[in-house]
Chains A and B, each alone.
Chain A
Amino acid sequence: MAIFGWMMAKVNAQYYISAGSSMLHVPDWDRVVHYYNLARTWDEEDLLPLQYGYHAGGGMTFLLMEKRQVFFTPQIRYTRWSTRNPTTQLALHHLTIGPEIRFNPRALLFGVKSSGPLGPRWYIGIQSGLQLWMPRIYRHDEWIVYDEETAYRPISPRIDLKISTGFHCYQIGRWIVTPEISAQLVRGAELYDWSENLLGHNIIGMKNRASSGWNFSAGLIFSHLKKSENWWDRPRGT
């Protein structure tokens, strides 16, 4: 913690934590689950596609261009989607690591003219980062072991794009509360051996690579304002 505090002081960043819900929409992976349900003639309850999950993360916000209200925010976010029926449970773990550029569009285009706290009220963020995908399948309460030859590589790395927008709406003590929504492109991500292991065969409906899809998220960000060297509260436009 001491090292972290020292780093924060050196880089003059405001750190934040976030949490919320995520909705995954990858038609290729949904289709695999539909084929699973088609084949499980005896299951009274269908398995829903991997759609609903939770995320948690954190990052730091650096002031990049004061006059234009542009901020640099390296961040890390973990998301877990899961779905289950009485026999099978699917989990999909997802880690995004990467820098985001946040900006206030109005300030970016027209410059900052009014006074008020420098921390952006409304922002748009664009992130291009590394995504890691890792699926897990449990059937009859046993983890399905992947092929030994490929056991080391169920993590699929992808570089993709996320766009987000948020609004710093309230301050509690030294914490700024920001509802944020985001849409993250899921393109080319591969869940190695996933469909073979879920379906239990290799004859139809196998699709491990997502040709396209989206991860929509909504959540809250809690940004902590430092006592010293806090640029957030500094009046803007000065």
Chain B
Amino acid sequence: MNRRHFLYQSTLGGIALAAFPSLLTSCKKGLPDDLKFEGKVIIIGAGAAGLYAAQILLQQGAEVIVLEASDRIGGRIKSTHTFSDFPIELGAEEVHGEKTILHDAALSSGASFVDDESMDYYYFNGSLKSEIDATENTLFNVMMEAVNGIGTYTGGDTTALVYGDISNVSDNVVHIFNALIGNEHGTDNSRIGMYGLRTEDERWTAGDQNLPLRNSTMEEVIQFMCPDAFGAVIVQQIVQTIEHKSGGVIVTTSGGTTYSGDAVICAVPITQLKNNSIQFVPALSAAKTAAFQKIGMDRGMKIILKFSERIWPSDMSAVYGRGLIPIFWATSFGRSDEFVLTGFVHGTNAEELAALGEQGILEQALDELDVLFGEASETYLQGLVYDWGNEPFIQGAYSYPTPDMGNAIEVLAQPVGNRLFFAGEASHTGGHTSTVHGALETGLRAALEVIQNTPRS
């Protein structure tokens, strides 16, 4: 080879080197073999966690069956298309944070979010105040400092109620304090633990935005994420026992049907584990069952009300009142010309309301809205109460940390051997419990645990 020939070939080589990255990056490439799994997996619970775990495992080559106790798919994700001219979420409603799988999936599905300019309103000292006016009040600011100070809390693992006292939160605004902490987390301040709240605050990585879907529903986003998983669901399969042994797993339903597989993912709400709805053979450790009891999950309900005209400020996204219903938000804001509010209530207030019955709850809601805005009863058209405490296989809204909960979430999330795995929002160890994206992430985690740990049959 002479010098000229060498130079010619070098030049060609250089051009090829420069070009091949763009050629290769346009190809589709499969995942490594160690992320494949060709075994059989049984998933208990067709909520977000179970469906997502099923979809991932199906895509990685597994045979998957999803057993759902109720007659519908979706768990705590449910919407109604008949109440108004736009779909209304009866369960999970907002995408919490812009840096999550759920946010990514929603945008990929073509969904958009309601992010119009709006503000919150607060009722205290006998009048309604915008968030701008409220910040001129010292008592309000002291309360907000306490809310924002959860991440740096250094006292004992007490309740948020005690924390409020320590932080000098005034009785005039304590109802807002309860709405922002306890009710927001699925309970009330008398039951929620400060260490758990602080841990969530420290570990939260999803971003600060709470984004309602504008033109689609949470159910549609989950369907977009898990199209194959829906086909793997068998409804009305109430699981009674899970046998998990070295040779495999056997799941038996109340109807006597048995399903065998290589692994089982238990993705049921924490209430179903707390009340021993499922018998495990061999029995779970005392530490595991104790962990179930340390994680809270209370009754929670949505009260949806439609009015003939808007009685609240046009820029209002939410209002914090002083009654049994800590917060109402403008569900139709940015989505419809109809006028719909949603009340959101958990814990002891929800228990008190449940005793009133549906009509009583609606009357209570209207009474409270009359105090806030006036004319609520006069402009009221129709209402709907959806009480998740009445769902027999859910029995509550979402999990929350109790005082002295310790590492209960980590214990719950821990697999038992290499055949039994746990998923569901309550088992999120990274600070994202009680969210849809948190549930999805535990489904991902459990699917990966199966892939990495379960022996192939």
Q: Which of A38, A45, A52, A203 contacts B56 (CB 8 A)?
A: A38
User: Which chain A residues border B280 with CB–CB below 8 Å?
Assistant: none
Binary A-proximity of B1-22 (CB < 8 A = 1, otherwise 0): 0010011001001100110110
Cβ–Cβ contact A203 & B29, under 8 A: no
User: Which chain B residues border A48 with CB–CB below 8 Å?
Assistant: 24-25, 27, 29
Interface residues of A (CB under 8 A from B): 20-21, 34-35, 37-46, 48, 51-54, 82-84, 87, 139-140, 144, 147, 169-170, 177, 179, 196-197, 199-205, 218-220
Q: Is B381 an interface residue (CB 8 A)?
A: no
Cβ–Cβ contact B448 & A54, under 8 A: no
User: Which chain B residues border A41 with CB–CB below 8 Å?
Assistant: 52, 55-56, 59, 225-226
| Of B95-103, B116-124, B293-301, B368-376, the one with at least 4 CB within 8 A of chain A | B95-103
- In the assembled complex, the CB of B319 is this many whole angstroms from the nearest CB of chain A, namely 29
Cβ–Cβ contact A218 & B7, under 8 A: no
Cβ–Cβ contact A200 & B107, under 8 A: no
Cβ–Cβ contact B444 & A200, under 8 A: no
- In the assembled complex, the CB of B200 is this many whole angstroms from the nearest CB of chain A, namely 12
Residue of B nearest to A204 (CB): B445
Cβ–Cβ contact A144 & B99, under 8 A: yes
Q: Is B283 an interface residue (CB 8 A)?
A: no
- In the assembled complex, the CB of B314 is this many whole angstroms from the nearest CB of chain A, namely 29
Cβ–Cβ contact A34 & B17, under 8 A: no
A-B contact pairs, 14 of them (CB 8 A): A20-B14, A34-B32, A35-B448, A40-B101, A40-B105, A42-B224, A42-B227, A48-B27, A83-B25, A197-B99, A201-B437, A201-B444, A202-B431, A203-B442
Known contacts A34-B31, A42-B108, A52-B24; is A20 also within 8 Å of B444 by CB? no
Known contacts A170-B7, A219-B14; is A42 also within 8 Å of B105 by CB? yes
Q: Is B109 an interface residue (CB 8 A)?
A: yes
User: Which chain B residues border A83 with CB–CB below 8 Å?
Assistant: 25
Known contacts A43-B108, A140-B107, A197-B99; is A202 also within 8 Å of B7 by CB? no
Q: Which of B18, B428, B431 contacts A54 (CB 8 A)?
A: B18
Q: In the complex, A82→B431 CA distance in Å? A: 31
Q: In the complex, A184→B382 CA distance in Å? A: 69
Cβ–Cβ contact B430 & A37, under 8 A: no
User: Which chain B residues border A144 with CB–CB below 8 Å?
Assistant: 99
Cβ–Cβ contact B59 & A203, under 8 A: no
Cβ–Cβ contact A203 & B109, under 8 A: no
Q: In the complex, A61→B431 CA distance in Å? A: 54
Query: A41-B59, A87-B108 known; 4 other A-B pairs, CB under 8 Å?
Result: A21-B20, A140-B104, A169-B6, A204-B441
User: Which chain A residues border B399 with CB–CB below 8 Å?
Assistant: none
Q: Is B81 an interface residue (CB 8 A)?
A: no
- In the assembled complex, the CB of A21 is this many whole angstroms from the nearest CB of chain B, namely 4
Q: In the complex, A179→B100 CA distance in Å? A: 45
Cβ–Cβ contact A179 & B35, under 8 A: no
User: Which chain B residues border A203 with CB–CB below 8 Å?
Assistant: 428-430, 432, 441-442, 444-445
Residue of A nearest to B27 (CB): A48
Most chain A beta carbons < 10 A, residue from B3, B60, B442, B444: B444
Q: In the complex, A81→B134 CA distance in Å? A: 50
Q: In the complex, A53→B429 CA distance in Å? A: 36
Known contacts A83-B25, A219-B14, A220-B10; is A202 also within 8 Å of B104 by CB? no
Q: In the complex, A16→B31 CA distance in Å? A: 41
Q: Is B205 an interface residue (CB 8 A)?
A: yes
Cβ–Cβ contact B25 & A21, under 8 A: no
User: Which chain A residues border B105 with CB–CB below 8 Å?
Assistant: 40, 42
Q: In the complex, A87→B106 CA distance in Å? A: 12
Cβ–Cβ contact B103 & A200, under 8 A: yes
User: Which chain B residues border A170 with CB–CB below 8 Å?
Assistant: 3, 6-7
Q: In the complex, A136→B95 CA distance in Å? A: 24
Cβ–Cβ contact B21 & A38, under 8 A: no
What 5 A-B pairs are tightest by C-beta distance, nearest first? A52-B21, A21-B17, A202-B430, A170-B7, A201-B441
Q: Is B255 an interface residue (CB 8 A)?
A: no
Q: Is B357 an interface residue (CB 8 A)?
A: no
User: Which chain A residues border B442 with CB–CB below 8 Å?
Assistant: 203
Within 58-105 of B, Cβ neighbours of A (below 8 Å) are at: 59-60, 99-101, 103-105
Q: In the complex, A202→B432 CA distance in Å? A: 9
Q: In the complex, A20→B15 CA distance in Å? A: 9
- In the assembled complex, the CB of B79 is this many whole angstroms from the nearest CB of chain A, namely 20
Q: In the complex, A40→B247 CA distance in Å? A: 32
Q: Is B203 an interface residue (CB 8 A)?
A: yes
Residue of A nearest to B30 (CB): A46
Q: In the complex, A205→B103 CA distance in Å? A: 19
Residue of A nearest to B22 (CB): A52
Residue of B nearest to A205 (CB): B448
Q: In the complex, A51→B23 CA distance in Å? A: 13
Cβ–Cβ contact B104 & A40, under 8 A: yes
User: Which chain B residues border A40 with CB–CB below 8 Å?
Assistant: 101, 104-105
Q: Which of A34, A43, A139, A220 contacts B14 (CB 8 A)?
A: A220
Q: In the complex, A81→B30 CA distance in Å? A: 20
Most chain A beta carbons < 10 A, residue from B20, B104, B437: B104
Residue of B nearest to A52 (CB): B21
- In the assembled complex, the CB of B317 is this many whole angstroms from the nearest CB of chain A, namely 23
Known contacts A201-B432, A220-B10; is A46 also within 8 Å of B18 by CB? no
Cβ–Cβ contact A201 & B60, under 8 A: no
